[in-house]
Structure 1
């Protein structure tokens, strides 16, 4: 039978987004190490796409500070940079504070329970030493307020700056110090449930600023 012309074709926008997320995640989880040279042809082969979405993804990753490019010379994974990470931390903390401020007045019981459930899974992942699951659960925990805030600007800014911090958080969550986040999460949940907007927002900000000790660990490597 005749096959419709577009059946099985993946829209270019989806290819671009998939390439971006795949390369971003490989940088965040360390598969593509800091300082590693990137070849768009090799990346395209790995992802099973053409070079065009890969090049577009790399340009976007450069804007996010995860990739560095010298035209005609090289493209590489950005080395861990304490100054850049601190800048990303400040912006990320402010965005999560704003998300909580906008979300808490309208939080439902179901959203509070979703945060508790995400934090339980987060604690279990830390106990098991499963860093990937810990980060996924942490994303879900914070994502409740971001989604409830329904502010596209907040989501856009976090999409750009959070991955840089996630590279550092992988180290944090693999250590005992990462377990402090469980208690911080519980505090945020209790304040959200009490509709204490001001203190809940500040606690959300404190949660992201608690990464400070990790910057001191990474500084000597620069």
Structure 2
């Protein structure tokens, strides 16, 4: 039985965090909904402790708000918060593009192209979940290759705030980010043109910040 070891507490906390975050971003837990650690712990098959730890992290990241001894609930989608998050995340993506482009391999560029094909197909079929996954896959190539842990952590922290609005716009009949802009980004990456890659990246994220202007 030596191969069976206790599951680390941190893994349970991360599992709870990811599950609750994804449900909030997807709109399965709607803005204004009061969440209770006991209820979610039961649904996730976990104890209350890792769920409480996940709640604390989600409050810090702006997806939950809490009043001690009163409630914990999902925050509304606030346009100013989305614009602020998009500005920060966009700046981080510009940074990683600058660092990553000279380091990209042919396999990395191929992975970006494949992700954009999935993205375009998902947008065409109205599959928001697949579109978001493919979009993440494409940009995560640059984040991974850049290897800047601070930038990666910042992107991971603030992207969910943007995704909530992006998903809602998509569901209202809008579109996600342009596959055409992605193609321009990929072409710049393939050519080793970091300046153009940064410029296109800025345009992509400026478009996301503008989503908030309609709220």
**What is the TM-score with the length of structure 1 in the denominator?**
0.92
The count of aligned residue pairs is 215
Deviations 1:157-180 (A, max 9, x none): 111100100101112334664255
Match of 1:74 in 2: 71
Match of 2:96 in 1: 99
Higher mean displacement: 172-181 or 154-163: 172-181
Output the CA distance in 2 between the equivalents of 1:184 and 1:165. 18
Output the CA distance in 2 between the equivalents of 1:180 and 1:151. 24
Output the CA distance in 2 between the equivalents of 1:179 and 1:18. 27
Output the CA distance in 2 between the equivalents of 1:17 and 1:8. 18
Counterpart among 16, 19, 31 of residue 19 in structure 1? 16
Structure 1 residue ranges, 4+ long, deviating more than 3 angstroms after superposition: 172-177
* Structure 1 vs Structure 2 CA RMSD: 1.5
Match of 2:118 in 1: 121
Match of 2:53 in 1: 56
Match of 1:84 in 2: 81
The alignment status of 1:167 with 2:164, answered yes or no, reads yes
Counterpart among 43, 51, 71 of residue 46 in structure 1? 43
1:196 CA drift (Å):
1.3
Unaligned segments of structure 2, at least 5 residues: none
1:213 CA drift (Å):
3.8
Output the CA distance in 2 between the equivalents of 1:166 and 1:27. 10
Contact 1:123 1:179 in 2 (8 A): no
Counterpart among 169, 177, 181 of residue 178 in structure 2? 181
